[in-house]
Homo-oligomer: A and B are copies of this chain.
Amino acid sequence: MYSINANFLKLQKNYLFADIAHRVNAFKEAHPEANIIRLGIGDVTRPLAPAVIEALHKAVDEQASAETFRGYGPEHGYEFLRQAIADNDFAPRGIDIDIDEIFINDGAKSDTGNFGDILGKDCTVCVTDPIYPVYIDSNVMGGRAGDFDNGAWSRVTYCPCNAENDFVPAIPDHPTDLIYLCYPNNPTGTTLSKAELQKWVEYALRHNSLILYDAAYEAYITRPDVPHSIYEIEGAKRCAVEFHSFSKTAGFTGLRCGYTVVPRELEVDAENGERVQLNQLWNRRQCTKFNGTPYIVQRAAEAVYSPEGKRQVRETIDYYMTNARIMREALAEAGLKTFGGVDAPYIWLQTPGIGSWEFFDRLLNEIHVVSTPGVGFGPSGEGYIRLTAFGRREDCEEAMKRLKSL
């Protein structure tokens, strides 16, 4: 008789977005005339850049002719894209990443989830709190999280991030094995300075921990001293994997492309005494369970690095970040305290002394604005809500006008 992976039965049902949808629908039914503005979603709304569209059409045409048709590509991605990434995302920052250290994928969610395939199931886990739920859920599936008691997993170390510590997580006072860091952060929109990130790298090197660094929002960084890549920190290549995504950088949420950097220096002693490169393990994993990202999508991603692509993508990011500025300023004028929104498209709003859900309900019922309750991202999110800057300008402005009347 076959059996299932019993760890799946431990997973907590995540009702966050279902709960939100339920409350919004109930409100809509009671107030069919209300003009609801959604500032809760983490999805982009601007179309793809013209340079990306042009590259897609061109690549599609190549697939229409036997002479230029491309079938199976390399599992780890075409060289043209890996080279563009190394040349544009790393070399200008003085980071030497070899193209064989770059693995193209169909989005950071897949790789952050799948990376556990190559890791031991006895590893302990460390996360900042609040947190993107995929990091924890994928470790629950992999049998690493332990048991869920009193709202927390027994083998997971939570590092609270809140207004009290200025959203700088304290380094754990005990060794942990797998450390998930996402900066600029989802959901709080806050960042870590190089000095703070350096402390995590030193901790990881001291304890032989692996940092899984999610840099999905790095393109939104505006301040010069905020690191775009963990590899800006000395020693990080020996302790960190880095995940990137074109989803938020270039509006690829529906096009699906990202990449993972697995440096060759990343080595670990296996049980049998063998010294093993994670790069080789990940390559074997990808060659066995993945068949590459669509050729046309990789051409689209390549176009993000063309001069026109860069300019157009920058315009869209500026559009969203102008939304963020408008929202931050209006919220401040309304006497509300916010964090994030300077180097990230997320604004983390401290509720006026009430719970996340209570404030969510007030915003929905009184000014017809949908947010995301912070507590949905973890216990330290209680007392906050997340607003995103990915909406249309006119919706942001209208929402802020209503907010001032609250």
Contacts and interface: CB of A to CB of B under 8 A. Distances in A.
20 contacts: A1-B175, A1-B207, A1-B268, A2-B178, A5-B117, A8-B281, A8-B284, A44-B71, A46-B69, A47-B69, A50-B64, A53-B61, A57-B57, A66-B392, A71-B253, A106-B256, A109-B290, A254-B295, A256-B291, A296-B296
Interface string A201-231: 0000001111000000000000000000000
Count class of interface residues, chain A: 35 or more
B8 A118 contact: yes
A106 B106 contact: yes
Interface of A: 1-6, 8-9, 11, 43-48, 50, 53, 56-57, 60-61, 63-66, 69-73, 106-107, 109-110, 113-114, 117-123, 134, 137-138, 141, 175, 177-178, 207-210, 251, 253-256, 268, 270-272, 274, 276, 278, 281, 284-285, 288-297, 392
Contacts of A207: 1
Contacts of A278: 4
B295 A109 contact: no
Given A46-B66, A255-B294, 20 more contacts: A1-B175, A1-B177, A2-B178, A2-B209, A2-B268, A3-B122, A4-B270, A6-B120, A45-B71, A46-B69, A56-B56, A56-B60, A56-B63, A56-B296, A106-B293, A110-B289, A110-B290, A114-B289, A254-B296, A256-B293
B290 A9 contact: no
Contacts of A64: 47-48, 50, 53
B271 A3 contact: yes
A9 B278 CA distance: 12
A209 B256 CA distance: 35
A24 B44 CA distance: 48
In the A-B complex, the 8 residue pairs with the smallest Cβ-Cβ separation, listed nearest first, are A113-B289, A3-B120, A1-B208, A71-B253, A2-B177, A43-B71, A254-B295, A47-B69
A120 B5 contact: yes
A119 B4 CA distance: 4
B43 A66 contact: no
Given A9-B274, A291-B109, A254 B177 contact: no
A217 B60 CA distance: 24
Contacts of A284: 8, 11
